Amino acid sequence: MNYKKAILLPIFLSSFFVVAETASEPAPSYKKNNSQQQMLLNRESSLLSKIEKLELIKSNTQNPLLYKKTIQDLEPLYKEIEVIQKMQILIAQNNQNKIQASEDWLNITKKDIASKISSETDISKSDSELLLNKTISLLLNNLKNKNIKISGLGSFKKFISPSRPGRNPKTGQEYLIPKKERIRFNVSKLIKDQIN
């Protein structure tokens, strides 16, 4: 691999992190937003019926004091309707963003990452796929022997989970779960600060 390709390693790793961080996000929950939308629709409907009654009084009254009072009563109702409509727009946009983020994650593959590297640099797609594969194999090979820390991205740490007692849920039979090597990825503070 030549010097230019070696410099592109951080670009790959940042693409890799975006994929990994998106994977760790919880699945979007729309129940809360739907109940908020329903509550706003109910309130909007209630306000519109009040406005309709007051507008009818305003148009039919001959009494100047009643007319003025009706106008004063209508003003806050119209303002509240305007606020409700803005909130409904924000909730709809929020739901759309969650759906888009979810769809983006479901569609990202190793080929997509290689294409992104290729499009943002002046190396071919096949070279970017080679770079991606080499980087992944380098990470995997080094994880067998030691921890890996990539500044600005995070660290892969190998640890051993101790053996512990277990139970077969069907039979109830107890047995010993053997100790096992595991890998944990911790995101760097820099990335956490950028996301939040």
Q: What pTM did the predictor assign? A: 0.41
Rg (CA), the chain: 29
Alpha helices in 61-196 (DSSP H): 64-107, 110-120, 125-143, 189-195
φ/ψ (deg, to 5) at 149: -120, 125
pLDDT in tens, 149-189: 888 888 988 888 999 999 999 999 999 999 998 888 898 88
- Give the 3-state DSSP-derived string for 17-45, with helices as H, strands as E and coil as C: HHHHHHHHCCCCCCHHHHHHHHHHHHHHH
pLDDT in tens, 44-95: 888 888 888 888 888 888 888 888 888 888 888 888 888 888 887 887 777 7
